[in-house]
Amino acid sequence: MPRSELANREIRRESAHRIFEAARIVFAREGRAATMEEVAEEAGISQGLAYRYFPSKQALYIALIKDALHAPESPRARLEGADSPGARLATMVSNMVILRRDCPELTRIPQLAAGDKDLPSAFRRELMQHGQRMIRSLRQRIVDAQESGEISRDDPDQLVVALLSTLDGLSRIPAGVTALGGASSFPNPEIILRMLSLRLQEPGKGPGANRKSPPSAPPERGSS
């Protein structure tokens, strides 16, 4: 007597999920150098089985990336109720920082994918557009917050790059830089927000203070 349709579907879903989660762990750790054998071992299945669920290693990888791209949307949405451009920006960035702390694989996998020349160009374009969208949205919020005088008036592109670089680096912490004391040292979002000269707690301060960035590094002499 064959298994019931329903049971079969259930088994498939379950297996696919195990493989997917195993792949997430392994790919986040090893990048594209991960082997299907490692994925299978992590999932506790045989090497061949993954091919019943994903037509190829690359397909699995891409599915993983797409998933990582869409997953973070929901948590972000939850906190959109702020009442000023600066507050919204702060919330957005804060969320992004926290996502790096709590689900580093979700952000690490697209990051690795971004540098992968072997992905099909159609998908690369998609990836890039996704990135662009996020960048544009971040940039717009920055501009808005600058106009409302809540943050520094530096070149918005530079602020975007600085923020994204930091986020990018934070994704890598579990992989390499772990040199430090572990999770407890993960930086408070406040610290990162300071790059914007965001002053959420001091609304009384006149926005004028942010007009020009304060002097700090003695610029005497070019470095290399």
Contacts of 124 (CB under 8 A, 6+ apart): none
Residue 3 binds: one of DNA, its own copies, none (C-beta under 5 to 8 A by kind)? DNA
CB nearer to DNA: pick between 49 and 63: 49
* DSSP class of 63: H
Contacts of 68 (CB under 8 A, 6+ apart): 24, 105, 106, 107, 109, 110
Residues 135-194 that bind DNA (CB under 7 A): none
Residue 56 binds: one of its own copies, DNA, none (C-beta under 5 to 8 A by kind)? DNA
Residue 107 binds: one of DNA, its own copies, none (C-beta under 5 to 8 A by kind)? none
Counting beta carbons within 10 angstroms of the beta carbon of residue 21, is it exposed (0 to 12), middle (13 to 18) or buried (19 or more)? middle
Rule CB under 7 A: is residue 116 a binding residue for DNA?
Answer: no
Site string for its own copies, 90-129 (x = CB under 8 A): xx-xxx--xx-xxx--x----x--xx-x----------x-
CB nearer to DNA: pick between 6 and 77: 6
Helical pair 121-147 and 156-172, crossing angle rounded to 10 deg: 120
The answer to whether 71 touches 106, Cβ cutoff 8 Å, is: yes
Contacts of 198 (CB under 8 A, 6+ apart): 86, 89, 90, 145, 150, 151
% helix, strand, coil for the chain, step of 5: 70, 0, 30
Residues 130-149 that bind its own copies (CB under 8 A): 131-132, 135
Site string for its own copies, 14-33 (x = CB under 8 A): --xx--xx-------xxxxx
Rule CB under 7 A: is residue 12 a binding residue for DNA?
Answer: yes
Residues 33-62 that bind DNA (CB under 7 A): 34-37, 45-49, 51-52, 55-58
Binding residues for DNA, rule: CB under 7 A, are 1-3, 7-8, 11-12, 15, 34-37, 45-49, 51-52, 55-58
